[in-house]
């Protein structure tokens, strides 16, 4: 008697504007609908168990990463190399994106530029000239020079 529920599914499909009616959703239950419902339930249980297993494995690996626990082991070196290899291109593309963003940005207007210059630390050029002046001061002898002392050797 599988033909009676299947005929009803055809009628359900016609009443549903031609959309497919799955055996599990048919108005009359059949053996095929029962099997499909059971398969869907089993699939959901399996999916849930696998998600729990994946979560457990992730937690385990987060707690015991080989590249953090023993960097010199084969697994630690392999993980560090693989992570570096995978993160390298990401870093490169993020850097390129930031450079493009900065290149396309507008110039700062006068008032904002003055505000930034007042609040920013000294530029590296200013720091270099200050360090040169300080090193010259340190290289001078602490006693009086020959010219100040008046004695010539």
User: For residue 40, what are its two tokens?
Assistant: 């869907």
| Cβ neighbours for 116, distance < 8 A, ≥ 6 positions apart | 108
Q: Give this prediction's pTM.
A: 0.37
Over the chain, what is the mean pLDDT?
Answer: 78
Quick check: 55 and 63 in contact, CB under 8 A? no
User: DSSP assignment, residue 96?
Assistant: H
The pLDDT of residue 122 is above 80: no
Of the listed ranges 33-42, 68-77, 87-96, 144-153, the one predicted with least confidence: 144-153
* Torsion angle defined by CA atoms of residues 135, 139, 140 and 141, in that order, rounded to the nearest 10 degrees: 150
What is the structure's pLDDT at 134?
A: 53
């Amino acid at each position: 008697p599988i033909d009676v529920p299947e005929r009803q599914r055809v009628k359900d499909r016609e009443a549903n504007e031609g959309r497919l009616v799955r055996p599990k959703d048919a108005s009359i239950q059949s053996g095929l609908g029962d099997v499909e419902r059971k398969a869907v339930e089993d699939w959901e249980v399996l999916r849930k168990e696998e998600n729990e297993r994946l979560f457990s494995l992730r937690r385990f690996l987060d707690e015991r990463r080989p590249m953090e626990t023993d960097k010199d082991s084969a697994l630690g070196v392999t993980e560090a190399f693989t992570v570096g290899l995978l993160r390298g291109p990401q870093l490169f593309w993020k850097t390129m994106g930031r450079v493009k963003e900065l290149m396309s940005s507008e110039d700062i207007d006068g008032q904002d530029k003055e505000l930034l210059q007042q609040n920013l630390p000294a530029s590296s050029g200013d720091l270099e000239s200050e360090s040169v002046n300080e090193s010259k001061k340190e290289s001078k002898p602490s006693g009086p020079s020959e010219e100040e002392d008046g004695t010539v050797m």
